[in-house]
Structure 1
Amino acid sequence: MKCTQYFKIVRTRRDRAMIQDEWILRTMEFPDYEAIQTDGRIRRWKRINEMEGRYLRVILLPDGETVHNAFFDRRFKL
């Protein structure tokens, strides 16, 4: 999985360390919802049943392959 230096740093935070690579990859490949930001970055959300159905938001660079950020989005509703 390709990722930015920013993601590597942010992932060390306690609230992000529990996010599994498998969940990120699942979100990238089979999102429940997708939106494109004005800067070209791609936001994808996926419901993660293993985390009580919370939605994981993964932000990708415009190439669609490089992870820039990943976190559980408390405000997202589908």
Structure 2
Amino acid sequence: MPTVYKFTPYFENQVLSKRAYLKKEWCIEVIENPIRIEKQEENRYRFWGKIDQLDGKILRVITLDDKVTIHNAFPDRRYKDEN
């Protein structure tokens, strides 16, 4: 059964209006195919993934603790692969 992703009101009302070019599908793609995951303070998780449609930029997606409720997303210009 496929995962059902949710979006916080902050994401729907603030993030998508500030970054109109973002697509929810890209956020889901990053969560499902991350190049890195990190637990964040305040019971959140960070996911990083490469999005070809953003000219190969790295998209950082922040979820709530359940890892299915998307709270924030933005191109991470400072991302450094630590591997």
TM-score norm. by structure 2 comes to 0.84
Cα-to-partner distance string for 1:11-64 (whole Å, 9 max, x where unaligned): 111xx1111122111011111101001222000000111211100010000011
Counterparts in 2 of 1:32-51, with a 5 A limit? Answer: 32-51=35-54
Whether 2:10 is the aligned partner of 1:6: answer yes
> Structure 1 unaligned runs (5+)?
none
> Structure 2 unaligned runs (5+)?
none
SS in 2 for 1:19: coil
The code of the aligned residue for 2:11 comes to F
The code of the aligned residue for 2:78 comes to R
Q: Which runs of 4+ in 1 moved over 6 A?
A: none
Q: What do you get for the CA RMSD once the two structures are aligned?
A: 1.0
Whether 2:38 is the aligned partner of 1:22: answer no
TM-score norm. by structure 1 comes to 0.89
Whether 2:71 is the aligned partner of 1:68: answer yes
- % identical equivalent positions: 41
* Equivalent residues, number: 76
The code of the aligned residue for 1:66 comes to T
